Structure formats: C-alpha cells, structure tokens
C-alpha cells in the first residue's frame, strides 16, 4: 500500500474575539482534532495550518467549518460539540448524508435555551426528534443508551413549559423490572421510588436551578413518579415523558397512552432490544410499535449507533454489544 502524500493547508478566521473559543482552553480543541484525525495543527493568531493526508485535512476543514459557523451564530462550542463534528467527519457515509449531518450541527432553529446554556441537536436524527416532539402529540424515541432520547425530551418539555405551550410536566418510568413491586424495599414510598427515578431528576437538574425544581414539584407543575401512579388519571395541557418504556407490560403501556388528554403530548423513550421483563412477557413498547405504526399524529424516531453522543467509549460499548447480539441471532437462526 502506497503511503498517502502529506499535504498542508492554511485557514484564517476573521473574528479575533471568537478564535479562543474555537481553539479551546489551552488549544484543547485543536489537540482533540489532531488526535482524532491524525493531523498536525499549528496556530498563530487567528490562523491555523493543518498538515496531514488529503482525507484527514478535508475532514479537519469540515470540523472547523461547523465549529466556526456555530460560534458565528452564538451557539456553544465545547468538547462535546467538537466530538460531534469529528464523529460526522469520520463516519463512513455518502456525501449527501454527510452534508445533511454537518448542516444539522450548524442549525440554530433547534436550539433549546435552558438554565445557563443552549442545548442543540448534535446529530440529524436528534434534530428530527426535537421537530417531532414539537409537531406530534405522541412521539416514540427508540434506540440505544447515550443517544439523548430522555435528555432531549426533558429539555424540549422544559422549554415548552417555560414558553407557556404546556402547563405541566410529568415524568415517569416503570420501577423494579416493570412489576413496580416496591413493597419489599425499606423506607417510605418516596425513598423506595427515588432510585428508579434518579436519572430523570438528573436530567431535570441540567435544565433548571434547584429552587425552581423544588417549587414546581411542590405546586405540581412538575411531577416525577413511577408509572403505576398514572392509573385513573386524565392529563390535560401536559407533557408526559415515559422513560425506559421497554420495561412496561402491554397493559401498562396501554394504560399510559390512554392518559393523554386535551392539549397534552407524550414522549415515550426506550430501547426495544433491552428489557428487564420476565421471560416470555411481551414488552409494551414493542407491542405499541406494532399496533401504532400507521396511526396519524404518532411519530417513531429510531436512533442508531451513530447517534450515541455521550462519549466514544459508550459508542464503542454499544457497537460491541450490537455486534455480539447480531452474531448470536445469526447463530441461533442457523
């Protein structure tokens, strides 16, 4: 195999106030790009010189283009945004798909302003997901861990509540392997359910200050509860987020979906490939996917491995498990 010729290209940025944000603290963003793309980057003032193979230089250019346009639009650029741009630049996709993905990273109409930062779509499918939540009354966010299904749903819901589009936010998930058998656990009911709801609390604290969360929990405009607490209620002018829905039974899922009242919306998140249900018990999430696939005003957004945004390690872990499961399925069928 012939060694690829080393090339060199210079880039210049015309807003000196934004250049430090582009380069990162102590040039950390430049170092991140160097490591991932196997290029050398030298900076001086508002210029960078990139040295490497032609494909690597082209990838680096696309990364700088995304990050610079985000800064010009007042959007954040940190380690996670650099990782997202690198992910798209390095992904084995066709030219059209790559251009769409890069465009999604630059879009401002998907911004959600919460607390002291903006939360934006970092993959095209995340952008599609946010749009679906805006325009459909029932949205299913399906896919592996780390794709932002719950986090983005909570962020969009908080934004809608703050803008007056909804009056209440209700977050729930099935507790203890979908059976919600909490009686054997020590402590009060709240102490029993808190461990299962902690991921939702964590997401909420990313969006709102603690005093506002406490106030909204007290007045009922935000409610966090196990799925069993939804029985017998009809919810109006609310956003309901049902998390970890793969652990619902068919009856539980039907019960949850029929809680949607006038002016309400629901987002159901889960990974159909992962369930804690007892053997031979059908997942309510899978059942809903089969029953509702052609119902009007219901949107299914299916996240894939390339949408994992937590970290490269999580992405690698998801990929490894998917490959193992694919091999097992193939061997089982053979």
Contact call for residues 224 and 200 (beta carbons, < 8 A): yes
pTM to 2 decimals?
0.70
Q: What is the pLDDT of residues 220-262, one digit of tens each?
A: 899 888 888 888 777 888 999 999 999 999 999 999 999 888 8
How confident is the model over 109-132, as pLDDT tens digits? Answer: 555 666 556 677 777 788 888 888
Identify the pLDDT of residue 312: 65
Weakest-pLDDT range from 86-100, 155-169, 229-243, 247-261: 86-100
Q: What percent of the chain has pLDDT over 70?
A: 84
Radius of gyration, CA atoms only, the chain:
22
Return the DSSP state at 25. Answer: G
Q: Does domain 113-333 have CATH number 3.40.50.300?
A: yes
pLDDT in tens, 54-72: 999 999 999 999 999 999 9
What is d(CA 175, CA 180) in angstroms, rounded to the nearest whole number?
A: 5
Q: Is the per-residue pLDDT at 90 higher than 70?
A: yes
d(CA 322, CA 307): 14
| Residue 37: per-residue pLDDT | 93
- C-alpha 14 chain-centroid distance: 33
CB 270 within 8 A of CB 245: yes
188/271: higher pLDDT? 271
The model's confidence at residue 180, banded by pLDDT at 50, 70 and 90, is very low
For the sheet with 40-44, list strands across it. Answer: 7-12, 47-52, 40-44
- Tell me the pairing of strands 40-44 and 47-52: antiparallel
Domain chopping of the chain, boundaries: 7-106, 113-333
Q: Flag whether pLDDT at 328 surpasses 60.
A: yes
CA distance 238 to 232: 16
Q: Which range among 147-161, 204-218, 298-312 shows the weakest confidence by mean pLDDT?
A: 298-312
The candidate with the shortest Cα–Cα distance to 139, out of 257, 36, 238, 53, is 257
Mean pLDDT of all residues in the chain?
83
Give the model confidence (pLDDT) of 232-243 as tens digits: 777 888 999 999
Superfamily of domain 7-106: K Homology domain, type 1 (3.30.1370.10)
Residue 24 token pair: 């990162």
Say whether 113-333 and 7-106 share the same fold: no
Task: Give φ, ψ of 324 to 5 degrees.
Answer: -60, -45
């Amino acid at each position: 195999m012939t060694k690829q010729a080393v090339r060199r290209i210079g880039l210049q940025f015309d807003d000196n106030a934004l250049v430090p944000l582009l380069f990162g603290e102590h040039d950390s963003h430049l170092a991140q790009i160097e490591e991932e793309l196997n290029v050398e980057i030298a900076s001086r003032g508002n210029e960078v010189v990139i040295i490497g193979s032609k494909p690597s230089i082209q990838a680096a250019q696309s990364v700088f283009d995304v990050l610079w346009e985000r800064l010009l639009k007042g959007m954040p650029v940190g380690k996670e945004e650099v990782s997202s741009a690198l992910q798209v630049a390095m992904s084995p996709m066709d030219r059209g798909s790559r251009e769409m993905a890069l465009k999604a990273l630059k879009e401002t109409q998907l911004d959600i302003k919460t607390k002291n930062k903006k939360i934006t779509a970092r993959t095209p499918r995340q952008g599609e997901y946010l749009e679906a939540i805006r325009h459909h009354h029932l949205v299913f966010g399906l896919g592996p861990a780390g794709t932002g299904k719950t986090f983005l749903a909570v962020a969009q819901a908080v934004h809608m509540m703050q803008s007056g589009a909804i009056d209440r936010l209700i977050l729930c998930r099935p507790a203890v392997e979908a059976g919600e058998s909490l009686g054997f656990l020590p402590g009060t009911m709240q102490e029993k359910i808190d461990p299962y709801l902690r991921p939702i609390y964590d997401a909420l604290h990313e969006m709102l200050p603690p005093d506002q969360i406490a106030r909204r929990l007290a007045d009922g405009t935000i409610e966090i509860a196990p799925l069993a607490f939804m029985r017998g209620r009809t919810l109006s002018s609310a956003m309901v987020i049902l998390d970890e829905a793969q652990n619902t039974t068919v009856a539980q899922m039907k019960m949850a979906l029929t809680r949607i009242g006038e002016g309400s919306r629901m987002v159901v998140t889960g990974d159909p490939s992962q369930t804690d249900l007892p053997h031979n018990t059908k997942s309510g999430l899978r059942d809903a996917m089969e029953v509702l696939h052609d119902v009007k005003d219901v949107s299914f957004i299916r996240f894939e491995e390339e949408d994992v945004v937590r970290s490269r390690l999580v992405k690698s872990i998801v990929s490894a498990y998917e490959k193992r499961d694919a091999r097992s399925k193939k061997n089982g069928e053979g």
